[in-house]
Amino acid sequence: MRGVASFCFALAVLCGRSAAKPNIVIIFADDLGWGDLSCYGHPTIATPNLDQMAREGIRFTQFYTANAICTPSRAALLTGRLPVRSGMYGTWNNSATNVMTQVLHADGTGNLPKNETTLPAQLKAGGHYHSKIIGKWHLGIQPDSWPLAYGFDEFFGTPMMHGPNEGNQSVFPDMQLINNTKVVGRLYKDIDIHMLNIQYIEAAVSYIKTRAADDSTPFFLYFAPDNTHIPLFASPRFQNTSARGLYGDCVQELDYGVGQVLTTIKQLGIENNTFVFFTSDNGPDRRPDVCKSLPGEYCDPTTGGSAGLLRGGKSTTWEGGIREPGIGWWPGVIKPGQVTMEIGSVMDLFGTAMGIAGIPLPSDRVMDTVSLLPTLEGKGPSRDHLFHWRGNKLMAVRLGPYKAHFYTEGELEWNSPPLQEHNPPILYHIEHDPSENYPIDKQSPDYAPTMEAIKNLVASHLGNLTYGTPQMNICDKHECLWRPDLPVPPSKPYNCCQDPCSTW
């Protein structure tokens, strides 16, 4: 399949539009834990569709996000680059917690810099792909930085999550639901929030059907439902269906959505020409306190997902914050029933898509992506290391089976315990000890040579690193301008531009 694609790419004129490249569908869940699917061992959440996807495809046990929270992870997916290069990060600041500095909030004026090369733009330029994003964007809140400004042909979704954002609606107005560039309405007020994800699923099915009718143009669907970010809502059909409670209902609705997508693809007979990958943006949210501040229906203290046997969760660079379910599916190309322990990253979906479409990677910038095709095809590893950043700090490095923590922050809950530097670094054999319980003794014969290899890798990494302009600094007047075109009332409680950092 790859061969055909490459051949057609080389002979584009001869192959023309009639030899369509494979379609690409990326399904990107929100705050789903590594342990939340039945095929990853959850005891009381039923995910028959994702389990079947895994049986028909390949299930990664060591698949990683590019960042432990939302915005930078999504930026890395669409750029194939670490957020610290693209600018989708915040700088550490003693008066701001990591939570606040590193996603775009409702008043955020940062955005994915326009000179970044995005996946949909590349697919269009190199392969005439038609593309749509359905669901959560979160790479620019202002209208001039919505998806159509970055190469997507269509958009149906919201600029960020489905709020109410860190407060209540009297302070933060509801998020807009947008069709391309037009505001369809506001969540809660105009849109039944319980049906939001069902609307997204229907839009995904509809898009696939529409695009499949045009067999000369391949499509790229980036399907990013709000499940399972808090506040939790399940549609009536899924309410009280899961033994796990409301969180389980939402995972089961997500699972249904995946089933609808795959069933549609099969019904249209395009399954041998459509690559689908399922993963999530970061680990499970574990903030009972935040949860309690939300309106009663949304969550209970057991709301957060599970990272299974992994340590930590969302916002941390412990494995629980960055390792995710990862399932690849492409009948006829990916051998069914594979379970792989090879390392993969959300950033690699960029390189994989380029590989599938036969389009070369951008050569004018440093890319952090590789193609996962060798692993998907059962031929072996695609990469052997990963850099785990948070903001402008390189927190941890994975090399082969080892992982070194230079910094840690959060484990029990977000920023608790607080940021700690580790010098010498804490080293784990992450495959022997996936729960990060047993640091390798600094006197052991493994420690020094492994750390030397990791430090060399880091030196080379930092050597070619140009930091992007940070888009998510809040406590810096130059980065945080309150804009009157935003629907944020001046009474909002943490406008850092009116009220400097010291009040955080």
- Tell me how far, at minimum, the Cβ of 243 lies from a copy of itself, in Å: 4
Report the distance separating Cα 87 and Cα 471, nearest Å. Answer: 6
Binding flag, residue 243, a copy of itself (CB under 8 A): yes
Residue from 23, 49, 62, 86 touching a copy of itself (CB under 8 A): that is: 62
- Tell me how far, at minimum, the Cβ of 109 lies from a copy of itself, in Å: 38
- Tell me how far, at minimum, the Cβ of 34 lies from a copy of itself, in Å: 8
Residue from 209, 237, 266, 432 touching a copy of itself (CB under 8 A): that is: 432
- Tell me how far, at minimum, the Cβ of 399 lies from a copy of itself, in Å: 15
φ, ψ (nearest 5 deg) of residue 179 = -110, 110
Binding flag, residue 362, a copy of itself (CB under 8 A): no
- In order, the DSSP letters of 189-250 are TTB-GGGHHHHHHHHHHHHHHHHHT-TTS-EEEEEE--TTSSSP---GGGTT--TT-HHHHH
Binding flag, residue 341, a copy of itself (CB under 8 A): yes
DSSP assignment letter at 20 = P
Binding flag, residue 448, a copy of itself (CB under 8 A): no
Q: 360-398 b/e with 16+ CB inside 10 Å = b?
A: ebbeeeebbbbbbbebbbeeeebbebbbbbbbbbbbbbb
Residue number with CB closer to a copy of itself (149 or 327): 327
> Reading across the β-sheet that carries 323-329, which strands appear in turn?
182-186, 176-179, 154-158, 130-136, 219-224, 23-29, 274-280, 323-329, 58-64, 338-345
Binding flag, residue 35, a copy of itself (CB under 8 A): yes
Binding flag, residue 159, a copy of itself (CB under 8 A): no
List Cα–Cα distances, 158 to 165, 311, 352, in angstroms. Answer: 13, 31, 26
Report the distance separating Cα 112 and Cα 263, nearest Å. Answer: 34
Binding flag, residue 308, a copy of itself (CB under 8 A): yes
Residue from 128, 429, 461, 492 touching a copy of itself (CB under 8 A): that is: 429
Residue from 7, 17, 41, 240 touching a copy of itself (CB under 8 A): that is: 41
Residue from 183, 214, 263, 438 touching a copy of itself (CB under 8 A): that is: 438
Residue from 295, 301, 378, 500 touching a copy of itself (CB under 8 A): that is: 301
- Tell me how far, at minimum, the Cβ of 436 lies from a copy of itself, in Å: 10
Report the distance separating Cα 416 and Cα 308, nearest Å. Answer: 20
Asked if 320 contacts 304 with a C-beta cutoff of 8 angstroms, the reply is no
Of 383, 390, 384, the residue nearest 453 (C-alpha): 384
Binding flag, residue 279, a copy of itself (CB under 8 A): no
Residue from 11, 339, 366, 462 touching a copy of itself (CB under 8 A): that is: 339
- What mask of x and - would describe binding to a copy of itself in positions 382 to 421, judged by CB under 8 A? -------------------x--------------------
Residue number with CB closer to a copy of itself (34 or 223): 34
Residue number with CB closer to a copy of itself (202 or 300): 300
Give the ranges where 242-298 is alpha helix by DSSP (H).
Answer: 246-267, 288-293
- Tell me how far, at minimum, the Cβ of 331 lies from a copy of itself, in Å: 18
Binding flag, residue 435, a copy of itself (CB under 8 A): yes
Of 90, 48, 96, the residue nearest 69 (C-alpha): 90
Positions in 121-150 near a copy of itself (CB under 8 A): none
Report the distance separating Cα 66 and Cα 337, nearest Å. Answer: 26
β-sheet bridge partners, residue 340: 60
Binding flag, residue 446, a copy of itself (CB under 8 A): no
Active-site positions read 70, 138
How many whole angstroms from its chain centre is CA 114?
A: 20
Residue from 302, 420, 456, 460 touching a copy of itself (CB under 8 A): that is: 302
Residue from 21, 42, 311, 398 touching a copy of itself (CB under 8 A): that is: 42
Say which residue the tokens 């028959």 belong to: 48
- Tell me how far, at minimum, the Cβ of 429 lies from a copy of itself, in Å: 7
Q: How far apart are the first and last CA of the chain?
A: 54
HEC letters along 35-76: CCCHHHCCCCCCCHHHHHHHHHCEEEEEEECCCCCHHHHHHH
Give the footprint of a copy of itself on this chain (CB under 8 A): 35, 38-44, 46, 51, 55, 61-62, 243-245, 248, 288, 300-302, 306-309, 323, 339, 341, 401, 429, 431-435, 437-438
